[in-house]
């Protein structure tokens, strides 16, 4: 007994040393703000309104709410609780069979980081677009509202992005965007280079300031003439759209995209929590905050679209094209109608940059956590972690240069659709829910959470992990395969054959890691099949 006690004491001391080496959040507020900064970002302010616009307005809320309660909240709790229970970011002790999922989680955040930076560098340069728009606004009124309809759109596309006519023409590098991209990666590096100690302090500003600007834009938008028409379009459902599989696909992927599900971020952030932190309550509040922000952002942007339609005398469905640029058409229009519009313009684009920035550097921190935990004895010595972080940032910057060419927006949409949304995240959700819900056990995870928080969460969570979540994800995945339609740029331009091949490669390069690595681990582990599988499936906490 004394020997066992000594071993247990030594194990506990070792676990405490490892926990201190990894670091912990200085306070619960830092964890809340870090997760809020990760999940509340461009997906709420930019992606959610444009998906509503693309999918017919209010009908989009129906599949969105289905995915929120069937997949979003259960998976959010699952990932956060796993990280907190094991104090490891996407790496369980002896959970070897799940390393295929981990390797998948190394690839997808890497791709997602590229998307955030491409958007941010376009936003940085968009301030120039906004300035020129202000200068020309007085002249536009002299020639009527029809000219106003195209000024922002055309100027941003031709001056800022200078988009080529085809994906086959990448064109030259846009040096202004390349410099903005470089600046974004430099900022991210210094936000993350000291681990959670630096990340936890930065989010106090980056996660709170956007709400001030969003409130200002909302108040200004709903006071404009014609705003009620835009809000009506936003809320009025068209039931016929529910038969379109793309609506369900977009709703599901918006939940996964906005909630940062299935990419390892939540597990990594949760791993820096104290063992007895009430992760269940945190997850519910954060999920409600996330969806509430998306809902309010829709009011802000659709009220402005209603005003633009009223001003131009056209139907709201034709006032602007669907796509990532929608937020850069409606929001700047609202800012242009404010007193001291130049000042509000700076604040608006600062808000957009911060929304992308905190999502990016928190995601980068999660990626570094996953890699560091795989070999903590190596990376936690000296400056090795900082040097490896620098290597990742340089690599991402070089890859990102492809997207700041004149035809880079075509590549951007391929990444957005195939690398970290759509079928990719659905496959990840299926793999994760099956691995945890069936192999590790939904009941087992449920009891782990009870042990941490001291009471029993809603029992429905167990059934979601085991049945509802995988069934909904599999059903949506099959439904989208049956009624598959090729990806189009701005709903008009079809990609060439090699674009779809590249997209499939983006998806398979990460998703195939799951079965390949699981099979590999089972094959190299000695013993019978049951003996080989058992130690690979059951983790235990560090402390």
Q: Are 246 and 36 in contact (CB under 8 A)?
A: no
Q: Hey, which of 20-24, 156-160, 211-215, 448-452 has the most confident mean pLDDT?
A: 448-452
Tokens 């997850």 sit on residue: 283
Q: Where are the beta strands (DSSP E) in 315-428?
A: none
Q: How far apart are CA 40 and CA 359, in angstroms?
A: 8
- Taken in order 90, 92, 94, 96, the sign of the CA dihedral is negative
Q: Is the pLDDT of residue 20 over 70?
A: no
Dihedral angle, C-alpha 154, 155, 157, 161, nearest 10 °:
170
Q: How far apart are CA 168 and CA 253, in angstroms?
A: 28
Task: Detail the residues annotated as belonging to a binding site for Na(+).
Answer: 37, 44, 258, 290, 355, 358-359
The pLDDT value given to residue 461: 94
Give the DSSP letter string of 98-150.
Answer: GHHHHHHHHHHHHHHHHHHHHHHHHHHHHHHHHHHHHHHHHHHHHH-HHHHHH
Least confident of 50-54, 101-105, 394-398, 521-525: 101-105
Neighbours of 80 (CB within 10 A): 27
Tokens of 459: 């029992």
Q: Is the pLDDT of residue 483 over 90?
A: no
The pLDDT value given to residue 100: 42
The 3-class secondary structure across 233-277, one letter per residue, is HHHCCCHHHHHCHHHHHHHHHHHHHHCCCCCCHHHHHHCCCCCCC
Q: Angle at Cα 527 formed by Cα 522 and Cα 529, nearest 5°?
A: 50
Q: Identify the band that residue 452 occupies on the pLDDT scale cut at 50, 70 and 90.
A: very high
9 in a structural domain: no
Between these two residues, 4 and 337, which has the higher pLDDT value?
337
pLDDT single digits (tens) 327-349: 667 677 777 777 778 888 888 88
Residues 6+ apart with CB under 8 A from 451: none
Q: What are phi and psi of 163, to 5 degrees?
A: -65, 135
Domain interval for residue 240: 22-537
Q: How far apart are CA 49 and CA 392, in angstroms?
A: 32
- Answer whether 0.85 is exceeded by the pTM: no
**Nearest CA to 317 among 231, 227, 233?**
233
pLDDT single digits (tens) 83-99: 999 875 444 443 444 44
452 in a structural domain: yes
Q: Would residue 262 be called left, alpha or beta, if left means φ above 0 and alpha means ψ between -120 and 50 degrees?
A: left
- Taken in order 467, 469, 473, 479, the sign of the CA dihedral is positive
Mean pLDDT computed over 453-480: 91
5 in a structural domain: no
- Taken in order 267, 271, 277, 282, the sign of the CA dihedral is negative
Q: Are 307 and 54 in contact (CB under 8 A)?
A: no
Mean pLDDT of all residues belonging to the chain: 76
Q: Identify the band that residue 289 occupies on the pLDDT scale cut at 50, 70 and 90.
A: very high
Looking at the structure of the chain, the number of domains it has is 1
69 in a structural domain: yes
505 in a structural domain: yes
Between these two residues, 131 and 480, which has the higher pLDDT value?
480
Q: List, in sequence order, every residue forming a beta bridge with 488; answer none if it has no partner.
A: 494
Q: Identify the band that residue 101 occupies on the pLDDT scale cut at 50, 70 and 90.
A: very low
Q: Is the pLDDT of residue 106 over 60?
A: no
Mean pLDDT computed over 279-287: 94
- How many angstroms separate the Cα of 29 from the Cα of each of 19, 132, 188, 273? 19, 41, 21, 11
CATH number of the domain within which 113 lies = 1.20.1740
7 in a structural domain: no
Q: Are 304 and 55 in contact (CB under 8 A)?
A: no
Q: Is the pLDDT of residue 213 over 90?
A: no
Give, as one character, the DSSP assignment of residue 158. Answer: I
Residues 6+ apart with CB under 8 A from 465: 74, 78, 433, 436, 437, 442, 445
Q: Angle at Cα 76 formed by Cα 194 and Cα 328, nearest 5°?
A: 75
The pLDDT value given to residue 250: 84
Q: Is the pLDDT of residue 290 over 70?
A: yes
Side-chain-facing half-sphere of 140: CA atoms under 13 Å: 17
Give the DSSP letter string of 288-339.
Answer: HHHHHHHHHHHHHHHHHHHHHHHHHTS-GGGSS-SSGGGHHHHHHHHHHTST
Q: Is the pLDDT of residue 517 over 70?
A: yes
Least confident of 189-203, 384-398, 470-484: 189-203
Mean pLDDT computed over 493-507: 83
Q: Is 91 in a helix, a strand, or coil?
A: coil
Tokens of 471: 């069934």
17 in a structural domain: no
Between these two residues, 304 and 142, which has the higher pLDDT value?
304
pLDDT single digits (tens) 352-367: 888 888 788 777 888 8
Length of the chain: 543
Mean pLDDT computed over 284-291: 93
Between these two residues, 66 and 22, which has the higher pLDDT value?
66
Task: Detail the residues annotated as belonging to a binding site.
Answer: 37, 44, 258, 290, 355, 358-359
250 in a structural domain: yes
């Amino acid at each position: 007994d004394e020997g066992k006690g000594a071993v247990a004491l030594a194990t506990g001391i070792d676990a405490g040393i490892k926990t201190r080496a990894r670091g912990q959040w200085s306070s619960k507020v830092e964890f809340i703000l870090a997760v809020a900064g990760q999940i509340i970002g461009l997906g709420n302010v930019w992606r959610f309104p444009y998906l509503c616009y693309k999918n017919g307005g209010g009908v989009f809320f129906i599949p969105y709410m289905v995915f929120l309660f069937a997949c979003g909240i259960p998976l959010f709790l699952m990932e956060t609780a796993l990280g907190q229970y094991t104090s490891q970011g996407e790496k369980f002790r002896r959970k070897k069979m799940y390393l295929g999922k981990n390797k998948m989680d190394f690839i997808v955040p890497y791709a997602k980081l590229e998307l955030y930076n491409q958007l941010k560098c376009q936003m940085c340069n968009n301030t120039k677009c906004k300035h020129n728009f202000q200068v020309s606004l007085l002249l536009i009124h002299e020639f009527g509202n029809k000219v106003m309809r195209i000024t922002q759109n055309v100027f941003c596309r031709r001056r800022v992005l200078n988009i080529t006519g085809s994906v086959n023409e990448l064109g030259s590098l846009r040096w202004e965007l390349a410099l903005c991209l470089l600046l974004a990666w430099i900022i991210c590096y210094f936000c993350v280079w000291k681990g959670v100690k630096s990340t936890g302090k930065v989010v106090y500003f980056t996660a709170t300031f956007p709400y001030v600007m969003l409130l200002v834009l909302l108040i200004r938008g709903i006071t404009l003439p014609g705003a009620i028409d835009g809000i009506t379009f936003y809320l009025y459902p068209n039931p016929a759209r529910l038969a379109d599989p793309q609506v369900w696909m977009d709703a599901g992927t918006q939940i996964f995209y906005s909630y940062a599900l299935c990419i390892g971020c939540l597990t990594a952030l949760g791993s820096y929590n104290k063992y007895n932190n009430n992760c269940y309550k945190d997850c519910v509040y954060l999920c409600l905050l996330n969806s509430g922000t998306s809902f309010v952002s829709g009011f802000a942007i659709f009220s402005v679209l209603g005003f633009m339609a009223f001003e131009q005398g056209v139907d709201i469905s034709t006032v602007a094209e669907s796509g990532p640029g929608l937020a850069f058409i409606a929001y700047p229009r609202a800012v242009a109608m404010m007193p001291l519009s130049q000042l509000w313009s700076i604040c608006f684009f600062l808000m957009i940059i911060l929304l992308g920035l905190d999502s990016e550097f928190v995601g980068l921190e999660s990626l570094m956590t996953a890699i560091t935990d795989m070999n903590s004895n190596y990376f936690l010595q000296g400056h090795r972690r900082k040097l490896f972080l620098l290597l990742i940032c340089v690599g991402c910057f070089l890859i990102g240069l492809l997207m700041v060419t004149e035809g880079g927006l075509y590549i951007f949409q391929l990444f957005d659709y195939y690398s970290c949304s759509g079928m990719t995240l659905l496959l990840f959700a299926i793999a994760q829910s099956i691995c945890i819900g069936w192999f590790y056990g939904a009941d087992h995870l449920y009891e782990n959470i009870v042990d941490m928080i001291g009471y029993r969460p809603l029992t429905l969570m167990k059934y979601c992990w085991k049945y509802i979540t995988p069934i909904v994800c599999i059903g949506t995945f099959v439904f989208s395969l049956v009624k598959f339609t090729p990806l189009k740029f701005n709903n008009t331009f079809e990609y060439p054959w090699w674009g779809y091949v590249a997209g499939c490669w983006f998806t398979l390069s990460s998703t195939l890691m799951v079965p390949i690595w699981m099979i590999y681990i089972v094959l190299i582990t000695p013993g019978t099949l049951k003996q080989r599988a058992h130690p690979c499936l059951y983790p235990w906490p560090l402390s």
